[in-house]
Amino acid sequence: MQEQTPIGPVDATRVPRYGGPATFARLPRIDEVSRADVAVLGVPFDSGVSYRPGARFGPGHVRAGSKLLRPYNPALDATPFGTQQVADAGDIGVNPFDLGEAIETIDREVTTLRADGAQLLTIGGDHTIALPILRSLARDHGPVAVLHFDAHLDTWDTYFGAPYTHGTPFRRASEEGLIDLERSLHTGIRGPLYSKQDLEDDAVLGFQVIRSDDYEVDGVRSIVERMRARLAGGPVYVSVDIDVLDPAHAPGTGTPEAGGLTSRELLNTLRGLVGLDVVGADIVEVSPPYDHAELTGIAAAHVGYELLSVLALNRAPA
């Protein structure tokens, strides 16, 4: 049976970019295609934040920023919408008052979407959502390597005694056996910590650390080499907290830290994932109330575009 040609974005030469469907990159909705190779899923949830709220409005804001995306990615010589069917799966309804129920809902909905083999690019929402996504993936893949872009470790134990927050998902995931302890990596870490013990605990949980300052000292090429060496040999989940970027590039986030990556550094690093077994990804912590001129939403949309390009190239025949 002949494969169906993917349905791509609305043609921007016929419909202005500020018009058309309010989907990611103006792609079809998931109910408009027979099946999706990649589903873009929104999770409007920020009940796990510890500082500034607003990430519950992130999915819509990133979709708005994605109207500028075009079908061909010259940096990777990729057509992310032409060689795979990408569709927008909309937003899932998550209980904003019961964090435990919210985590269960995300796990269930993610598992349902993945049932026919679709990969997910999830747009949050706060970083709490990474835990239920990893639970779903681990049931199929076993422990996965986590490539975590963030200013913060997100492996703290509790906040005010609460074990499930946006600062704890990767500790819980490590404790539950969801993470490959020999292959996981934080990238972009910077800023003050509570104590030196935070780093010592983090290493036990399975992570190596590439600091934001390493980009200045070593350069992107060296970072990519270290990243690929660490991640090789098995499935990889990519989790991008937009606060990995400097506030100059992403002011619209809940816990900004000075001294972060530039958009160019992040996008170039993501391109280094081609050829690795990426099984899913998320983009989290975009908080529109603190954004200016859509800087953060546009940056996040381009992060999604690079991740979709990587998935397309990884899916292509060798």
pLDDT, tens digit, 9 for 90 and up, residues 13-69: 999 998 888 999 999 999 999 999 999 999 999 999 999 999 999 999 999 999 999
User: How many CA atoms lie within 13 Å of 273's alpha carbon, on the beta-carbon side?
Assistant: 31
pLDDT tens-digit series, residues 265-314 = 999 999 999 999 999 999 999 999 999 999 999 999 999 999 999 999 99
pLDDT at 3: 64
Residue 127 labeled ligand binder: yes
Residue 166 labeled ligand binder: no
**pTM, full prediction:** 0.97
- The domain 24-314 is classified under which CATH number: 1.10.8.100, 3.40.1160.10, 3.40.800.10, 3.30.420.310? 3.40.800.10
Residue 150 labeled ligand binder: yes
Cα 166 from chain centroid (whole Å): 14
pLDDT at 318: 55
107 Cβ contact list (under 8 Å, min separation 6): 132, 133, 135, 136
User: Over the chain, what is the mean pLDDT?
Assistant: 96
Residue 253: beta bridge partners?
A: 286
3-state secondary structure of 166: coil
Q: Length of the chain, please?
A: 318
3-state secondary structure of 89: strand
217 Cβ contact list (under 8 Å, min separation 6): none
Average pLDDT over residues 198-203: 96
